[in-house]
Structure formats: structure tokens, C-alpha cells
Amino acid sequence: MRNRPRKIIPLLAAGLLAVTACSGGPSTPTGPAPSQGQSQGAPADADPNQLPRGETLYTTGTQWGPPANFNPIREWDSAVGTKGLVYESLFHYDTTAAKLTPWLAESGSWTDDTTYEIKLRPGIKWSDGQPFTAKDVVFSFELGKMETIPYHNLWNWLQKAEAVDDQTARFTFSTANYQEWDFMLYTRTMVPEHIWKDRSEKEVLDGINENPVGTGAYKFLSKDQDRVTLQRRDDWWGKTALNMEPKPRYIVDIATPSNEVAMGLLLQKGLDLSNNFLPGVANLVQGNFGLTTYYNEPPYMLSANTAWLVPNTAKKPMDDPAFRKALASSIDVKKIVEGVYGNLVKAASPTGLLPQWDKYVDQDVVAKSGFAFDAAKAKKLLADAGYKDGDGDGYVENKDGSKISLSLIVPSGWTDWMESARSIAASAKAAGIQITPDFPDFNALVEKRGKGDFDLVINNERQLSNSPYTYYEYLFQLPIQKQQNTVNFGRYENKKAWDLVQQLDQVKTDDTAGMQKIISQLQQIHLDDLPVIPLWYNGLWAQSSTSVWKNWPAEAGSAPKTPAVMWRNWLELGGFETLTQIQPAAS
Amino acid sequence: MSLQVSELRVHYRTLRGDVRALDGMSFELGDGEILGLVGESGCGKSTLGKSLIRMDGRMRHVGGRVVLDGRELPIADDRAMNDFRFKEVSLIPQYAMSALNPTRKIRRMVGELLRSRGAALDAAELERRMDQVGLPREVLDRYPIELSGGMKQRMVMVISTLLDPSLLIADEVTSALDVSTQKAVARALLGFRDSGYVKSMIFVTHDIALTHHIADTIMVMYAGRLAEKAPADALVKAPRHPYTRLLVDSLPEVGVRYAERRLEGIAGSPPSLLDPPPGCRFRARCPLAGDECAEEPPVAEVAPGHHVACWKA
Amino acid sequence: MTTIQEAVPRERAAVRREALYFAVRNGKLMTGLTIVLALLLLGLIGPLFVAAAPNEYSVKAMSPPTGEHWFGTTTFGQDIFAQFVHGLRATFAVGVVGGGIAAVIGMVVGFVAGYVGGLVDEVLNMLTNIVLVIPSLAVLLIVNAYLGIRSVAVQGLFIGLTQWPWAARAIRAQTFSLRTREFVDLARMSGSGTGRIIAREIAPNMSSYLFMTFILLFGGSVLIASSLDFIGLGPTEGVSLGLMLQNANQWSALQLGMWWWFVPPGAAITAIVGALYVANVGLDEVFNPKLRET
Amino acid sequence: MRRYFGRKLLIYGLTFFVAVTVNWMIPRFMPGDPVASMVARANVTKPEAVEAMRAYYNNLFGLDQPLLTQYANFWGALLRGDFGTSIWLFPTPVSQVIGGAVPYTLALVVPSVLLSWVVGNQFGAYAARRKLLDNTVLPVGYVLTAMPYMWLAVLLAWALGVIAGLFPVAGGYSFSMRPNLSWTFFLDLLHHWTLPFLSLFLVALGGWAIGMRNMIIYELESDYSTYLSALGAPARLIRRYAFRNAVLPQITGLALQLGVLVAGALVTEIVFAYPGLGSLILKAIQNKDFFLLQGAFLFIVLGVLIANFIIDIVYVVVDPRTRAGMAGAQA
């Protein structure tokens, strides 16, 4: 990428030198290039100003702008790798085997129904040389006692966290929410008490946390407007304890550019892993461009979350389950999958549970109560429920004869969703339901969604996790607030369902049968009432170039099965493990 | 003889065909002579002035010769004419107010102009000539915008004559000025001739009265041709061509400003020069017109130096 | 960026006749007009003959140009020719609305400031200068981002509201020079009101100038609209050439080899605006004999 | 002179005031609640935590105060150089975010504007009244100036970047580099800068060339040119004068076009993922970060105002007429 034009450059440079000189030029921008910590671990042969291509992994698709902070508490907008590469969690979660993998913790177990004890691996040190102890673990969880910390809620059912000794931490619960606790174990990052202990709540939540000190395999080397660069720590504890080593010595994460540019970078071999949605990439995967994805045929990607159509159940006629079911049958998801996504996504099963959760799907319930696209059936369902087209305009009316005219909102500029919304409107029209796609800006949409001031909305804000519990929590959470900010946007109220979800939370995570039993009931309620209509599984967008790194995760052969992804909160779900499995293409 | 023009034909190219702006002009101009050239707008007097120094893009030399001081002027060859311009033939343009580059101080502009013509700036001479026309020397260090109209006019006069051309064409130089300034300009021009800065001069105007003051000879043009040419006094006092007579008669009083009244006193308008009718071109408006006028009248010398193109003269 | 030269009052009929004569013989004007009119015609009648709705999906996705789909299809199988002809409409509409509004405001402000003078002029001039220096695209970004633009008409309106100052300035200068002419004095002496004098005496005497101003504003509006569309601030309803560009870019048309998606809208914008500019220079030559090539 | 600049400064001052006020006003009357969308993005599971965060941010951004107080605070903060805190890149101060992007934008805008102006003027002046050039090369100018910036940019990126592989398609410098003071790094910067520069330069170039061509024809047809020709002055001298005089309106044109050129730079940056203000503004729009958007807008307005003022000064220095006019020396 940078070698070919060497001859041209000096010519251009000569001509343009005067100009840049007089304009001040892009004089070494911002880059505070943290020089501290460079002393340790940096190999002598490395030229920190020019990263060797063969040892560097270029990624994109996570960060959308200049790196704003290195604060692991801000797990939604901290610089790529802050959580997962620099700061680590006690466990990782293996999505394939569906179990926790000990990480900073050597083991963890319930000593009784409400007590959990964690043994830490010995010899782990923070990057500043201080030992990592159980006190750090306790400190990290206790940060959640601050009201604005995202996991503050944990303390509603966690009673006490204490360090028994340097290697042992004990948690005592008032209510043992086993499912949620497992989630906590692999999502919460450990921060060093000796550095964080004097920070105020504002600093913990909003601090930039320049020069982060973590336990992880990487440290930040530099940052700029459009990138962060991480450098591998060769004294990382996992090298011996886990017998693992991430292969890239450097990781450069590029602030996600437009699709066009990202694709250009991939084709120029300047990018190794793109985690953004690249429409049409299927063509490139099948062409001879040196690009791979997890599957080499549709849907190409693993699934990461479910996109739902969320009807506002507090409004007519969406408050009628029969209407919702008719609506569900009217939508031709296949057309969206093929037309809009070019088969990069997969149609969802009626339950909407991700394929990774297949074992929790009760096929009998699905067979009995599931739905599928069937315009005729949709029409029949409508007619049976009393929605008829009285005025002959091709659209059905409410039972009282008033017009039904629903608007489906998706954020303006989200092109794939906008196209999907158009497609949904078109297929609903065939069944006689009038839907108008509407594209307010994201802000306005969030406000309408929160207040329940909408008819239909598309949403996908729940990722794959250790348990369908998180999925059903999204669906059924009660009580309904004036403002529904993150879950149950459709304002669906079903006390029984919410009770079941809470029960599910308290089932031990190894009790698969117990989970299945409750989940089966939840599925029945979901399919009977359809508070949300599952549409398709959004992909775990990952397209990799094989020009510099090979052995990318793939379904076929002996390739790794972990997700190849740098997304926030996904490094613990196998993203990090992928880094240890890829190989330099040259070898 | 300083200037001899014979059978000069210059046409304008227009949409509807060639306009015969000069249709066989012949006249002579002696050393030291000031020729007043008068006529209505569109009679070809400006065309004549331009033809002698620089034809614009739409003008075409169709025939005839111009000889200045024994050398033929290559008036059709823009490039060859350059050798003569300024040095042999010079011009005080109608648009003297805007003839100076607005963004150059005058001294610098004059210097650059002279240098480009291979002449050196003789500052003393320049200043002397400015004194002569009553221009303060500071003017040289001013921008044109800082000068009054009269000052600009005089400055242009000085510049145009710096290289002592043999022939100076003063094209409607007074039309934009008020009466007192007109007189001053006329006096200055006379002074230039008398000081030998210019050998001879063609003073193009439609103001017979003013011309009378400075010109030795007056030539009246009508529709691209010579109508009458005579010593100034003779022409004003005893015009022979009916057109001249009408012109002179319409003067309310010698010396009164005449420019604005033009020649509206004469009924009718000149013929189109696109395709002029045969015979005398003034025939349609002429009170004396007779059958013989259907034939073109030759220019005849009716008295020494008095030429008329009219059967009735 | 093309400058317009001072309009000189002459006998109107003669001027018109002469102008027409030169107009039909002016290569620049004719070439420019032909291109613009051809595209306009395509935009006007094209949609009547194209069966497919611009955003309708067909079966054949990503098809290169064929007899069935003249300009090929998009990633979703939308017919690009259908989008193109509809887009042309929107693009012309934005030009007309934006250029028109800007021209009207520019004329009103310019005429009034130039003719009335005095304090009114001072105030209007200051207003003009203020709007002139504020970078208009930045304003449009802000306005569009916050208010959201629904339709082509609204987009044109906003563009028009920011584009008028230079026109006002130029028209003011022209009016200023015409204000003291005899025919205006005459009209004033005969008791005509300000509005009447502007409408009857001043405006007609600079009609060619006004027309050229409108052309430049039209071209400017089209370009600005396409920029706005491109960065996702275009109208949310309908199709325009700018939106087509945005879509093609967003869905990586070029990288995926679908040049037929990316090239036509940009080429059409370039053709429209370029042809207008060329025609404008041609017009300038028609109205101003000095500029004609000799 | 003082009066002239006093007037100009007054206008610029007023403009700035209007810009700031508009800037402050619009987001407060827009639909949607930025804090709500920010909190939504935080993806916090529990409602209680959300409420706490929401109150916290409302307080932080001052959205819970009376409007007039907010307005006064806005000015106060502005005068302290405090543009607020970015929502999207929370908690980075807006001034810092913009500060990181500005060098890139300046490096793109200043050379492309100045160079295109200089080269375009030379070229236009050269082509004017030279039939062959006027009829062959100048039409290219029309095509260039009529091109949407981003269209040319995308085509360039694709042809010279992806297909020919001559230039990088993204970034301010190689992703493998770290800023340092070395020749290699400088060349790398230049390498990344070339394509965005080129696309801006070319479009602007066409405009200037055409403007100059038309201007100079007017000048060549003007009285002083005719007079000089009549005195046999060589074409070289006349063209020199004409150029000099035609440049003056082009300077004014530069002031008028500045806003448009900056806008072009913004769009071009987006296409090349060049880390300047343009990319930032796009992201700010997409993320509804109105503090950042306002900051960027104000910065652009300020930049354009300053540039205008510089142009005013240059104009006065270059055009004797304005100076003479100001001195009141009308004899």
C-alpha cells in the first residue's frame, strides 16, 4: 500500500513543499504518543514510528470517531480495546461451548445458595507492576455502589463483597440471580484500586482515564483523530498462565470510515478486519479478493443480535394480540434478507432466540404457535379478529370502523433499516394493513420510543449473551415507566411473564433443564401475544483480509470458531481468543 | 504633404452585411495643418479616425491607400501598424476619462508605456509639457481616480503626444467637457501644434463652432463620403454644399455650444450604408435635389483648397 | 464566478432582435441550452414513460445496463433509469426553487437598497454583508441537521434563503448606476412611485442581467443541494440526483463495480451545472457585443 | 481608512453575534432530546440508573436552567474559549476535539484555495482571447467547476486509490505511522493529503480559471487597453495591466467563495475519511452531538470572518482606488 508510489512522492513533495510550509501544514497533530511505559516490554528492534506490516493488525468497525476516553466503566464509548485488551474481566464467555472460561479468576463457585467465591490466578500484575489482588476485585464491584455507574443495580441483590485473602474474593447475595451474576462475571472489568480509589463519582463515570493501567495483553501506544494503536505487552500474565499469546504485536483500530472507504481499505489490503456492515460484501467474498467471512455462503456472518418489529401495545390496534399476529404473518422477511441485505443476515426464528441459543427453543411450542410469512393467513387472521376493509380502499379498518394508518419509524440515515421499513410497508399492504415508513432523526426517534409515542419501531438493542435471560428481560421487563429507555419499548404488560423472567434469573446456570422449562413457558407467552415480532438476526459483521493474517475463524475445517470481532464487550465473548489464533500469512 | 488619403474604403462587418462606413474617401493634409472633421453620428468620421491608427476587429480595409510623410501606412496590418503608432500617428481618444489604467500611478504607467515602445522617459520634457497644459507635477504620482475629468483629459493629451507624432487624431475630445474646459483643451491642442509636438492634426468633432476656432481646414463628411472640405473660414462663412449650409445655418450663433443640438434641425435621416442608394447620398434630404443628383457627384475643387461633392455647388 | 457586465439601456426592441440574432449563432449558448433542455425534457417526460417506481424492487439486483434496465439496477434491484429521471426532476426543482427564491430576495433587496438608498440602503447592505460572510453550507448543515428536511421544496427554500446575498449586492450596484439615468429621472418627474419605477424602468433595463443572475443561482443551488444530499441531509422523501449519489456511495457502488449506479447522477449534475455556466457565458456575449469573439 | 475598517469590523462583529445566536437558538428548538439519545446509547439496563444519568447530564449541560441564563452562560463560556463538552465523545471538551481536527482542515483548505486561485487565475488569463485554448482547455474548466466535489473525490479515490493503488484512500497519515519529525513521516502526510487536495484543487481551479477568463476579457476590451493598443503598446504590457486589474474582482470573489470552498473541503474530507472538521461534522450530525456541531460551526464562521478580514486588508493594499477613495482625495 505504501511502497509502490515511492517514486512519485518526492516529485509531488518537491512541488507541494512550499505550500504546506506556508500553510503551517498538518504539523504533527495532537498525538501525545504516551511515552511512559514504553521502556518496559518494547522490543529493541521495534521502530515505534513505523509499525511493521507483518506484525500489525488493522481493524475497524467499532470506533466511530476520535478515541474519547480509556475508561473501562464507559463500556459503550471507550477507545477500542480499553475493555478486553487493556482491562480484563474475571471470566470470558465461550459462546460455542456456552460456558464461562476462567480468566483473571482461576475458578469461581457457589459455596452455598447465596455465596459465591472466586479464586484468583496467582502472579497477575497490573501494568505498573503492582500485584492484582482480591481487593481490586472487591473494589471494582463496589464502584457499582455509586448511583450513576451502569451496574449500580447489582447492589440491589448483592449484599456484600469481601476479600478473604489476596487470592480469594467472596460475594454474599440477598437474592441470588445466578443468570445475571454470570453475566456480571464476564462483563465487569477489574480496575486497580491503588489508582482508582480516590476518584470521585464524576471521575469514575466521566473521567478520560488517560494512561490506563490494566492487566491486559495490550497497552495503548498512541492515539489520533482517526485511530488508536495498541502494543502487545510481552510480560502479560496469560502467556504462561493460559499459554496464549495474541499474535499481532500491534493493533491499529481505525475510526470507522464510510462503507465505501472501508471497502477501499480492505481491497487495498490496508485493513485486516472490518467489523462494520459492508453491504454487498458477499460479492467480494465470492470474488477473488482475498476476503473471508465466517460462512462462505449465506448468511456469511455469525448472528449477533435479533432485529424486532416492536408494536406499541399501549395503542390501538396494536394492543390486540390477534392484530399483532396478523401483522407478523404479513411481513415477508425473506424479501428483506435477500433484497435489502443481499443474504448477509438470516431470517429469525419465530422466537427470535439467536442460533447460539437453539437448545432453549421449544420446538413443540414453535410448531404449535409459531408464525411464518403468509399473506393469505394474515388476511384471514384480520378478518377473523374483526378487522375488515369496509370502505374498499384496500386497507382494513379498526373494529369500530375508524381507519388504521400506522407509521413505522426507523432512524433517518440508517439506510438498511430504511429500506427494510419500506419493504415491510409494502408486504403489509398486500395483507391490507396500511403502514407508512417514517424516518425521524435518531434523537427524535429515541424520544418518541421512550415516551411510547409511536406505532411501530424496529429495534435490535440486545446482544448475544450467556443466557436467554437477557433476551426475555428485554421483552418483558416491568414496571412500565413513563419513559422506557432501554427495554420493552412496546410497553407490554404481563406480570406472569415478568415473574417467569425473574424466576429464570434465579435458576442456576448449569441447570439447563430448569432453564428450558421456564424458557418454554416464556416462549409460549411470546408467541401467543407477540409483544415483539422477530424479523432477522443481525450479523456479527466480520470480513477479514487474508493477505497479512490467516487462519480467520470460519465454519469450515479446523479454523477457530470464535467470533472475529473487536466490538466493545465482544472481546470477552471470544474476540480476544481469535487474536491468539490468527497466524501471519507469511508463515 | 503630410497625409494623403486616397479612395479609402473601410467596411464594418455586421449581421446584415457590410456597412460601408468609408466609401471612397480622398483628401490631403498639409504639414502643420489642423483639419476639423465634422459630420453627424454614423457619417464615418470616427471610422476614418480609427482607420488611420487602429482598426477594431469588425473593420475591414477594402481599398484605397493612406500615405503619411511619403510612407504608406499598412492600415490593414495591425502588427505592421505598430511601428507607426504613437511615433508617427497618435490618438487622443474620445474616452480620455477612462483611458488611463486605474491601478497604476501615472508616472509609472507612462514610463512603462514608453519603455515598451523602446523610448526612454524624459522626465524634464514630460514636466515641461505638463506645465504647458497647466497640470501640476504631483499628478504624476497620483492614480487616475484622483484626477478630475479635465486633468485626465490633459494628461492623455500630453501622453499621446510625447513621442512627437507626425499626425495626431483627436477624436471627439471635447464632447464630454464643459464649455470653458473645451476652450482650454482646444487652446492646448493649438499649443501642441505650435510647439511642434505634432506636425498635423485631425480634430474629429460634431461641433462646427469649436472646430472653427482651432482648425485651419474643415472637412464635412456625409454618409461615408466627403461632402465638402475648405479652409475653416470659407467653410463656415461661404459653404457650398447644401448639407454644409444647413449645418452652418442651424448654428444659432457662432461660439454657442452646439454639440447637444446635433443635427436634428435637418429633416430626415442619412441613408443606410449597408446598401447605399446610387447617386448623391444627400439627395433624399436635400432641398436642392434635382435629376442630375441621381448620379454620384465627383469631388470638385471649386476654389483653391475648397472641395465640394455636389452638382449644385 | 462568472461576472456579469453592466447592462446598458438601449432601445429595447432593437436590442432584443439583435440579441436573438446573436443568441442563435452563439455556440456556447446553444450547446449549453441544448444540454440543459434535453435533460429537463428527460426529467419532465421520462417519468411518464418509465413504468417502474423509482424505489420499487425488481427481481434483478445489481444488473448492469441492459435493454430492460437502461442504466442497470441497484443493489436492491431498483431501476436506476427510473431513479435518474425522477432525480432529474427533483434536481431541477431544487434549482428552480432555490435559485428562484434567492433571485427574488436578491432582487428585492438589491432594487430597494440601490434605488431608495440612504438609511434603507445602509441597513439592507449590512444585512446582505452579514448573510454573505456566514458560510452558507455550514448554516444549512446546522439547520438541516436540527430541523430535518422533508421535501425537495423545503430544501430549495433553505438554500434560497442563504444564497441571495451576492445577487443582492450585484443588483444593488446595477440599480445604483441606473438610478441617475435620464429615463429614470423622467419617470420620477412624471410622478411614478418607487415600485413602479423599479418594475417598469429599472428591472426591464437589466433583464438580461437578472436572467443571468438567476442562472448562476440555479446552478449554485443544484450543487449545494447535491452536497447536502450526499452527507445525508437531503430530503427524506423522494429521489434526487444527490440522494442517488449518496446511496450509491453508501452501498459502495464503485467498489462493487456498479459504476452504472454512481456515474450517471454525478455526470448529470455536472452536465446541468456546467451547461448552465457555459450558456451563461454565451448569454453574456450575446448581450455584450464587446465580448463576442472576433 | 479607520472608518472603512471600523465599518468592516462592525459587520464582522454583527455577523459573529448573529452566528452565535442562531447557533445557540436552533438546537433548543429542535425535536428530540440530546441527553435522552446519549443515555440511550449508553445502553444502561436499569431504569433507575438511567434517570440518575439523565439528571446528571442535564445539569452538566445546563439544559435545566432558564433560557436567558443559558444564553448568557453560552456567551460567557464562549468568551472563555469553552465550547462545552462533546456528547458523542464525552467527556472530551469540544475545543479539544476541534483542535485535533483543525490542522488537517487548514492543511487542506489553505493550500487548495490559494493554489487554485493563483493557478486558476494564471490559466484563465492565459486562455482568454486565445482561441485555441479558449475552445479546448477552458471547457474542461466548466466541467470541473460544475462537478459536485464529492463526486470527483470518490472517482479519484476509486481510480487512483483502489484501482491504480497510487494513493491511500483514508486517513491523515499511514495507519502504520506515529507522528514524528522525520522526512518519512512528512512524505507520508503529503501522500495522504494529495488526493483530497487534488479534488478540492481541481474543482476550485476550474471556477477561478473561468472567472478570470471572463474578467480579463472585460479588461482587454476596456478603454485603457484600447488606448494602449492605439499607442502601439505590446500585448504583453496590456495583458499585464489587464491581469492586474482583473485580479481585483477575483480577490473579492475569493472572499465570496470562501464559504463555498470550506464547504467543499468538508465534503471532500468525508469522502477520504480525512480526519478534519468535515469528518467530524458528519459524525456530529449522525450522533446528534450539537455541542460539537456548534463548535465546528462557530469555528468555521470565525475562520471565514478572519479570512474575509485578511482579504479586506489585502484588497486595500492592492487596489489603489479603495485607498484613494478612503483618503477622500477626489479632486
DSSP calls for A46-106: --TTB--GGGEEEEESS--SS-----TT-TTTSPTTTBTTTB-BSEEEETTTTEEEESSEE
CA atoms of B94 and B49, how far apart (whole Å):
11
Q: Cell triple for residue B243?
A: 448639407
Q: What is the CATH number of domain B32-53+77-252+265-308?
A: 3.40.50.300
Which chains does chain D touch, 3 or more C-beta pairs < 8 A?
A: A, B, C
Q: Which of C229, C228, C259, C224 is nearest to C244 (CA)?
A: C229
Minimal Cα–Cα distance from D58 to chain B, Å? Answer: 60
Contact in structure between C74 and C39 (CB atoms under 8 Å): no
Confidence label for D165 from pLDDT (cuts 50, 70 and 90): confident
- Contacts with D191 from chain A: Cβ below 8 Å: 2, 5, 9, 12
Inter-chain residue contact C294 with B58, CB threshold 8 Å: yes
List the single residue in C with minimal CA-CA distance to B59. Answer: C294
Q: Which of B9, B3, B13, B25 is nearest to B63 (CA)?
A: B9
Helix, strand, or coil here: B182? helix
CA atoms of C154 and C143, how far apart (whole Å):
11
Which chains does chain B touch, 3 or more C-beta pairs < 8 A?
A: C, D
Inspect the structure and tell me whether chains D and B have 3 or more CB pairs less than 8 Å apart.
yes
CA atoms within 13 A on the CB side of A168: 8
Portion 16-55 of C in contact with B at CB < 8 A = 18, 21-22
CA atoms of D309 and D305, how far apart (whole Å):
6
The structural domain count of chain C equals 1
CA atoms of B34 and B2, how far apart (whole Å):
11
| pLDDT tens, residue by residue, C91-146 | 999 999 999 999 999 999 998 888 887 888 888 888 888 887 777 766 777 676 66
Inspect the structure and tell me whether chains B and C have 3 or more CB pairs less than 8 Å apart.
yes
Inter-chain residue contact D227 with B99, CB threshold 8 Å: yes
Q: Cell triple for residue A6?
A: 515511492
Inter-chain residue contact C21 with B15, CB threshold 8 Å: yes
Please check whether residue C6 touches B, CB under 8 A.
Answer: no
Contact in structure between D121 and D205 (CB atoms under 8 Å): no
C100 domain-assigned: yes
Please check whether residue A284 touches D, CB under 8 A.
Answer: no
Q: Which of A256, A239, A255, A258 is nearest to A247 (CA)?
A: A239
Q: How far is CA B164 from CA B72, B89, B113, B125, in A?
A: 19, 9, 15, 11
Q: Which of B56, B140, B52, B112 is nearest to B88 (CA)?
A: B52
Which chains does chain A touch, 3 or more C-beta pairs < 8 A?
A: C, D
What average pLDDT score do residues B126-132 get? 90
CA atoms of D184 and D189, how far apart (whole Å):
9
Please check whether residue A340 touches C, CB under 8 A.
Answer: yes
Please check whether residue C272 touches D, CB under 8 A.
Answer: yes
C198 domain-assigned: yes
Please check whether residue A27 touches D, CB under 8 A.
Answer: yes
Minimal Cα–Cα distance from C178 to chain B, Å? Answer: 19
What residue type is assigned to position C71 of the chain? Answer: F
C56 domain-assigned: no
A586 contact partners, CB below 8 Å, separation of at least 6: A54, A548
CA atoms of B84 and D134, how far apart (whole Å):
31
Spell out the domain ranges in chain D.
Answer: 2-31+83-327
Inter-chain residue contact D245 with B86, CB threshold 8 Å: no
CA atoms of C79 and C57, how far apart (whole Å):
8
Query: Of B53, B87, B143, which is closest to D230 when you measure between CB atoms?
Result: B53
C159 domain-assigned: yes
Inter-chain residue contact D208 with C146, CB threshold 8 Å: no
pLDDT exceeds cutoff 50 at D86: yes
Q: Which of A446, A571, A515, B182 is nearest to D42 (CA)?
A: A446
Query: Of C129, C134, C277, which is closest to D301 when you measure between CB atoms?
Result: C134
- Please give the full DSSP string across D103-125, using - where no structure is assigned: HHHHHHHHHHHHHHHHHHHHHHH
CA atoms of A582 and A577, how far apart (whole Å):
9
Interface test with D, best of C6, C26, C28, C142 (most D CBs within 10 A): C142
For residue D285, the model assigns a pLDDT of 74
For residue C105, the model assigns a pLDDT of 93
- Contacts with A481 from chain D: Cβ below 8 Å: 47
CATH of range D2-31+83-327; options 1.10.540.10, 1.10.238.10, 1.10.3720.10, 3.30.420.40: 1.10.3720.10
Inspect the structure and tell me whether chains C and A have 3 or more CB pairs less than 8 Å apart.
yes
Portion 138-157 of C in contact with D at CB < 8 A = 138-139, 141-143, 145-148
Spell out the domain ranges in chain B.
Answer: 32-53+77-252+265-308
Inter-chain residue contact C137 with D266, CB threshold 8 Å: yes
Report all structural domains of chain A as residue ranges with CATH numbers, in order of start.
88-206 (3.90.76.10), 218-300+541-584 (3.40.190.10), 303-539 (3.10.105.10)
For residue C57, the model assigns a pLDDT of 66
Inter-chain residue contact B101 with D245, CB threshold 8 Å: yes
**pLDDT tens, chain C, 294 aa long:** 333 333 334 455 666 677 777 777 778 888 888 999 999 998 888 888 776 677 666 667 777 888 777 888 877 777 888 889 989 999 999 999 999 999 999 999 998 888 887 888 888 888 888 887 777 766 777 676 666 666 788 888 888 988 898 888 888 888 877 777 777 777 777 777 788 888 877 887 777 788 888 988 999 899 989 988 887 777 766 788 998 998 888 888 887 888 888 999 999 999 999 999 888 888 888 877 666 654
Contact in structure between A178 and A505 (CB atoms under 8 Å): yes
CA atoms of A262 and A282, how far apart (whole Å):
15
Contact in structure between B139 and B151 (CB atoms under 8 Å): yes
- Contacts with B15 from chain C: Cβ below 8 Å: 18, 21-22
Determine which helix (DSSP H) or strand (DSSP E) holds D242, and give its type and residue range. Answer: helix D235-271
Domain that holds residue C168: 80-293
The enclosing domain of C242 has a CATH number of 1.10.3720.10
- Contacts with D106 from chain A: Cβ below 8 Å: 23-24
Per-residue burial over A223-247, b if 16 or more Cβ lie within 10 Å, else e, is bbbbbbbbbbbeebbbeebbeeebb
Determine which helix (DSSP H) or strand (DSSP E) holds B247, and give its type and residue range. Answer: helix B242-249
Minimal Cα–Cα distance from B273 to chain C, Å? Answer: 18
Residue C95: is it exposed, middle or buried by C-beta count within 10 angstroms (0-12/13-18/19+)? buried
- Contacts with C139 from chain D: Cβ below 8 Å: 22, 297
D195 contact partners, CB below 8 Å, separation of at least 6: D153, D156, D157, D160, D161, D167, D168, D169, D272
Query: Of A66, A443, A483, which is closest to D32 when you measure between CB atoms?
Result: A443
Inter-chain residue contact D259 with C293, CB threshold 8 Å: no
ipTM of the complex: 0.77
C288 contact partners, CB below 8 Å, separation of at least 6: C5
β-bridge mates for residue A533, sequence order: A309
CA atoms of D89 and B55, how far apart (whole Å):
71
Q: How many CB atoms lie within 10 A of CB C22?
A: 18
Residue B233: is it exposed, middle or buried by C-beta count within 10 angstroms (0-12/13-18/19+)? exposed
Inter-chain residue contact D36 with A443, CB threshold 8 Å: yes
Interface test with C, best of B14, B15, B54, B56 (most C CBs within 10 A): B15
- Contacts with A58 from chain D: Cβ below 8 Å: 175
Flag residues of chain A having pLDDT under 70.
1-48, 587
Query: Of B83, B85, B145, which is closest to D230 when you measure between CB atoms?
Result: B85
Q: Cell triple for residue C91?
A: 434536481
Share of chain D above pLDDT 70, in %: 87
CA atoms of D263 and D265, how far apart (whole Å):
5
Q: Which of B283, B281, B282, B285 is nearest to B265 (CA)?
A: B285
- Please give the full DSSP string across chain C, using - where no structure is assigned: ----PPP----HHHHHHHHHHHHHH-HHHHHHHHHHHHHHHHHHHHHHH--S-TT---S-TTPPS-SSSTT-B-TT--BHHHHHHHHHHHHHHHHHHHHHHHHHHHHHHHHHHHHH-HHHHHHHHHHHHHHHHS-HHHHHHHHHHHH---SHHHHHHHHHHHH-HHHHHHHHHHHHHHHTSHHHHHHHHTT--HHHIIIIIIHHHTHHHHHHHHHHHHHHHHHHHHHHHHTT-S-SSS--HHHHHHHHHHTTTTTTT-HHHHHHHHHHHHHHHHHHHHHHHHHHHHH-GGGS--
Are β-strands A406-409 and A456-459 bridged in parallel, bridged antiparallel, or unpaired? parallel
Inspect the structure and tell me whether chains B and A have 3 or more CB pairs less than 8 Å apart.
no
- With residues binned 3-state (H G I as helix, E B as strand, rest as coil), the percentages for chain A, rounded to 5, are 35, 20, 50
CA atoms within 13 A on the CB side of A530: 25
Q: How many CB atoms lie within 10 A of CB A405?
A: 12
Portion 409-448 of A in contact with D at CB < 8 A = 413, 440-447
Contact in structure between D297 and D18 (CB atoms under 8 Å): no
List the single residue in A with minimal CA-CA distance to C146. Answer: A441
Inter-chain residue contact A268 with D37, CB threshold 8 Å: no
Q: Which of D179, D212, D3, D193 is nearest to D105 (CA)?
A: D193
Q: Which of D251, D259, D254 is nearest to D303 (CA)?
A: D259
CA atoms of A388 and A438, how far apart (whole Å):
25
What average pLDDT score do residues B67-74 get? 90
Q: How many CB atoms lie within 10 A of CB C17?
A: 12
CA atoms of B26 and D306, how far apart (whole Å):
65
- Contacts with A439 from chain C: Cβ below 8 Å: 236
DSSP state of D157: I
Phi then psi for residue B270, to 5 deg, are -65, 155
- Contacts with B95 from chain D: Cβ below 8 Å: 223, 226-227
Contact in structure between A374 and A559 (CB atoms under 8 Å): no
C173 domain-assigned: yes
| pLDDT tens, residue by residue, D255-301 | 877 877 888 888 888 888 888 888 888 777 777 677 788 888 888 88
| pLDDT tens, residue by residue, B246-268 | 888 776 554 444 444 444 456 67
Contact in structure between A412 and C235 (CB atoms under 8 Å): no
| pLDDT tens, residue by residue, B170-211 | 988 877 677 777 888 888 889 998 988 989 999 998 788 888
C240 domain-assigned: yes
CA atoms of A572 and A88, how far apart (whole Å):
8
Residues of D with CB under 8 A from a CB of B: 222-224, 226-234, 236-237, 241, 244-245, 248, 319-321, 324-325, 329-331
List the single residue in C with minimal CA-CA distance to A410. Answer: C236
**Out of B212-221, D128-137, D161-170, D185-194, which region has the weakest mean confidence (pLDDT)?**
D128-137
Inter-chain residue contact D232 with B151, CB threshold 8 Å: no
C142 domain-assigned: yes
C73 domain-assigned: no
